[in-house]
């Protein structure tokens, strides 16, 4: 996680998550703040001459478009305020969806995962998504490409079946029980290398 902006804000996403729009939700304001770069850079836009207490910033339900509604009340009069924001003409449309990762493409391949493995819940998943520093919009008809394949099973993907338990030996200090052998006893066979059916001593859990 990293901090992208100070203070408390109302926020909304557009352009399939490629555009973030913020408005101060504590003090009256004349401006909204927006980013095309996932918070790397922010642009300020004054949308009214009179300060407004913003109650919400909303987009349509799929968050795929570049239009937003900002509503609240004018700070001085207390009257209702409603504004339509349209970002369609601010940036170009992204290019190079079919060749992600190339220098002439606005897209790249991204794989979620941890520090030691790319496997999440038994699958390796990769997404084609816009480069963070690409100042362009995906477009309303953008369809994110997602590819996945099963991960190769490891001993961590198995637990002992009913009636079996991990074989354990005591350390020199008998009060400390340490696992010295990952076999399930009484069956001393090992889990299979691939993702086939587990042998009787084991039960595959992922």
Question: For the residues of the chain, what is the DSSP string, one character each?
Answer: -----SS-EEEEEEGGGTEEEEEESSS-BSEEEEESSTTSS-EEEE--SS-EEEEEEE--TT--SSEEEEEEEETTT--EEEEEEE-TTTSEEP--TTSTTSTT-SEEEE----SS-SEETTEEEEEEEE-TT--EE--TT----EEEEEPPP-GGGEEEPTT-EE--EE-SSTTSEE----PEES--PPPPSSSSPPPTTEEE--
Q: What is the pLDDT of residue 95?
A: 95
pLDDT at 21: 96
**Averaged pLDDT in 10-residue chunks for the chain of 206 residues:** 83 94 95 93 94 96 94 96 94 94 94 77 88 92 89 77 66 42 57 53 74
Residue 121: predicted pLDDT: 76
What pTM did the predictor assign? 0.71
Taking alpha carbons only, the member of 88, 84, 91 closest to residue 36 is 91
Distances (CA, A) of 44 to 20, 59, 191: 12, 19, 58
| Structure-token pair, residue 91 | 């940036």
Closest to 14 measured CA to CA, from 183, 137, 149: 137
CA dihedral (182, 184, 186, 191) in degrees, to 10, reads -100
CA distance 138 to 126: 18
Q: pLDDT at position 206, please?
A: 65
Strand partners for 110: 127
pLDDT in tens, 151-189: 887 777 778 877 777 766 444 444 434 344 456 766 445
């Amino acid at each position: 996680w990293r901090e992208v902006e100070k203070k408390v804000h109302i926020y909304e996403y557009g352009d399939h998550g490629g555009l973030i729009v913020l408005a101060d939700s504590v003090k009256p304001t004349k401006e909204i703040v927006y980013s095309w770069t996932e918070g790397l850079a922010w642009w300020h836009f004054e949308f009214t001459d009179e300060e407004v207490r913003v109650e919400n910033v909303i987009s349509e339900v799929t968050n795929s478009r570049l239009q937003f509604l900002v509503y609240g009340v004018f700070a001085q009069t207390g009257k209702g305020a409603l504004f339509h924001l349209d970002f369609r003409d601010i940036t170009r449309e992204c290019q190079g969806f079919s060749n992600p990762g190339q220098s002439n493409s606005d897209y790249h391949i991204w794989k979620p995962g941890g520090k030691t493995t790319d496997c999440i819940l038994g699958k390796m998943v990769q997404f084609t998504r816009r480069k963070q520093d690409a100042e362009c919009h995906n477009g309303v008809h953008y369809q994110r490409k997602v590819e996945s394949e099963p991960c190769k099973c490891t001993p961590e993907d198995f637990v002992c079946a009913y009636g079996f338990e991990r074989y354990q030996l005591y350390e020199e200090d008998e009060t400390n029980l340490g696992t010295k052998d990952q076999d399930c006893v009484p069956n001393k066979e090992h889990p299979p290398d691939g993702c086939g059916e587990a042998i009787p001593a084991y039960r595959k859990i992922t």
